[in-house]
Amino acid sequence: MKLLVTGGAGFIGSNFIHYWLKNNPQDFIVNLDKLTYAGNLENLKKIKDNPNCRFVKGDICDGKLVDEVMDGIDIVVHFAAESHVDRSIKSPSIFIKTNIIGTQVLLEGALKRKVKRFHHISTDEVFGSLNLDDLSKFDERTPYNPRSPYSASKAGSDHLVMSYFYTYGLPVTISNCSNNFGPFQYPEKLIPLAITNILEGKTIPIYGDGLYVRDWLYVEDHCRAIDLILSSGKIGETYCVGGLTEDISNLDVITKILEIMGKNKDCLEFVKDRMGHDRKYAINWSKIKQELGFIPEHDFTHWLEQTVKWYEENETWWKRLKQDEFSNYYKEQYNDL
């Protein structure tokens, strides 16, 4: 089997490539990645000499290149995206370009080359926001209601994917997943930002009252869910993928990290809230459980400890990232915190 993975040098994409080659060593992967600030070939260092993985540096918006790399591909697993909500609030255009136009270019290439499956990685953020006292959860029937430029661009890409199924019969599947955490996550996101700031002796910026709720999933569980969808998912269907946490607030998450790292709450710094901040996400993953047998295996507290350990043991990986582009971004985003 020959796979095209887009965005395979990013957080989830690189974890997916490691996962896939471990479980399917006979398969061949082409990894198309532009290497934006979030793409990092260090994430793939362990498999750099693997003859079954070829890296192509390039943009998913480049139709000619996409047509070339799509040649002979059986399955496309499309991760490439601008992924950070705060950056989408500051600079929305690149989100529209990469997430919407880039997806359409890939769909066109996949259609032309008659791929057997186009799997699109999406997010629970397309469903909008729940109230804190709301007991309902997002599922596959929840109407789309994106509220940030990031989630709107992901919603647009989801609609395009489905349009290629209905209009042209392209064999697509979509997964809408909740917040991932684990190794190789760029330190702009809450969990790696908190861990690495503590390791640097800095404070942790908490937006607003810190009572926002996310549904956390260890990245390897997400990779397994994608694997199940690729092997047994129904063409033209969407699958919601979520974790094992029940209404855990950002403050709860940070408190756990402080406990694991032996720090107290003096490290917390409440800062100006994110504009349009979605209050709560919660995913009902019973469809993928019932139809494909998916159950998250990674307990939040234990795998948060493992994640802290990973960042402690991989200081050179994140220190280099924090010196580069990130330091300017951080100054601007957090007003020199």
Q: How far apart are CA 170 and CA 75, in angstroms?
A: 12
Indicate which single residue of 4, 60, 193, 304 sits in contact with ligand DAU (rule: CB under 6 A).
193
How wide is the angle at C-alpha 225 spanned by C-alphas 100 and 216, nearest 5°? Answer: 80
Q: Establish if 36 lies at the interface with ligand NAD (CB under 6 A).
A: yes
Binding partner at 206 among ligand DAU, ligand NAD, none, C-beta below 5 to 8 Å by kind: ligand DAU
Are the CB atoms for 299 and 216 separated by under 8 Å? no
| Region binding ligand DAU by CB under 6 A among candidate stretches 27-35, 97-105, 207-215, 297-305 | 207-215
| Angstrom distance (rounded) from CA 15 to CA 185 | 10
Burial of 293 (0-12, 13-18, 19+ CB in 10 A): exposed
Return the residue of 4, 21, 29, 61 that touches ligand NAD, per CB under 6 A: 61
Cα separation, 18 vs 224, whole angstroms? 12
Segment near ligand DAU (CB under 6 A); pick from 37-45, 94-102, 199-207, 230-238: 199-207
Give the span between the Cα atoms of 244 and 162, in whole angstroms: 28
Q: Binding of ligand NAD at residue 12 (CB under 6 A)? A: yes
139 is catalytic: no
Of the candidates 150, 186, 281, 330, the residue annotated as catalytic is: 150
Applying CB under 6 A, does 229 fall inside the site for ligand NAD? no
Q: Does 186 bind ligand NAD (CB under 6 A)?
A: yes
The Cα–Cα gap between 19 and 13 comes to 10
Contact between 154 and ligand NAD per CB under 6 A = yes
- 127 binds ligand DAU per the rule CB under 6 A: no
Closest Cα to residue 26, out of 63, 1, 60, 62? 1
Q: What is the dihedral of CA 62, 64, 69, 74, to 10 degrees?
A: 100
| Minimum gap (Å) between residue 299 Cβ and ligand DAU | 19
The piece of 4-12, 242-250, 291-299, 323-331 that touches ligand NAD (CB under 6 A) is 4-12
Positions marked catalytic: 124-125, 150
Residue numbers at the binding site for ligand DAU (CB under 6 A)? 83-85, 123-125, 178-179, 189-190, 193, 205-207, 212, 214, 250, 274, 281
